[in-house]
Amino acid sequence: MTHLGEPLYSKPVRIRERRRGYYVFFVAVPLLALLFQVYVPLFVSSLAYLELPLLVTLHTALTRRAPLLGLSYGCGVGLLQDALSNLPLGMYGIVKTLIGFFAANISMRVDVDNPLVRFLTALTLYFFHQLFYWVLARALLGQQIHFEVATTLLFAILNAAVAVPLFQLLDKV
């Protein structure tokens, strides 16, 4: 191996690895999260409370620390989630766009590698996710949906509890 050979050989390898990382983050992870959301509650109905698409959006926004990327990722995942439901396209899209943007902005100001910070961030943003959805459903669709604060808070805690180990797992991907 010459001194000229190394860059010629190693650069494509690095690019390939980076591309693989992109595919995993931007294609495989959201699709698996949506698959989980679609399939698992059929057999374990108690897991229906888990908002995996939201959690992967949060993780991407928090770790990449780029608001544009966060909002785009949230928008894409939200629209996919809308497409797989019977809702008009845009409901989850708008909500997750906002959440992605906020999460990315938080990550630029706070150290989000701390598990406690991650727990609190996931808890707060899950609550706001449900609140935004409720506001949109009432304001834009005219649906009379009830917002149960206690239940939402409980689900927020459960989702945040799942988020901490899930984020650690996704960090290693």
Partner 1 sequence: MQLLLKRYRDLTVLVLVLAVQVLLLAWQVRTGQDVRLIRVWAVASVMPMARVVEFVRANTIGVARDYFQLVDARSRNKELEKELGRLKMENQFLKTELATADRARALAAFQSRSPSRTLAARLIGSATSSNSRVVYLDRGASSGVRKGMAVVTPDGIAGKIVAAFPSVSQMMMVTDPAFAAGVVSQRARVHGTLKGQSPSVCIVDYVQNEDDVKDGDWFFTSGDDRIFPKGLPVGRVKTSRTGGIFREIRLEPSGIRGGIEEVLIVVEGVHQEIPDSTQSSQELHMLPRPPAEPESDPNKMIDFSTTGSALTTDADQVLERYRRLGAAQGHTYGAGGVPNFNIPVPDAPRAAPSKPAQAEGAPPAQGATAQPAPPAAPGTARPR
Query: Of 2 and 86, which has the nearer Cβ to partner 1?
Result: 86
**In the complex, least distance from residue 42 CB atom to partner 1, rounded to whole angstroms:** 5
Strand, coil or helix: what is 90? Answer: coil
- Whole-angstrom CA distances from 71 to 33, 141, 156 are 18, 23, 21
**In the complex, least distance from residue 7 CB atom to partner 1, rounded to whole angstroms:** 33
Distance CA 11, CA 84 (A): 39
Interface with partner 1, residue 156, by CB under 8 A: no
CA 118 to chain centre: 13
Site for partner 1 in 4-33 (CB under 8 A): 31
At 19, list the tokens: 């591309």
Q: Which of 125, 134, 119 is nearest to 103 (CA)?
A: 125
Distance CA 21, CA 173 (A): 8
Interface with partner 1, residue 173, by CB under 8 A: no
Q: Which of 146, 71, 123, 73 is nearest to 102 (CA)?
A: 71
Contact pattern for partner 1 over residues 38 through 77, marking x by CB under 8 A: xx-xx-----xx-x-x-------------xx--xx--x--
Interface with partner 1, residue 137, by CB under 8 A: yes
- List 57, 97, 121, 159, residue binding partner 1 (CB under 8 A): 97
Contacting residues toward partner 1, per CB under 8 A:
31, 34-35, 37-39, 41-42, 48-49, 51, 53, 67-68, 71-72, 75, 79-81, 83-94, 97-98, 101, 133, 137, 140-141, 143, 145
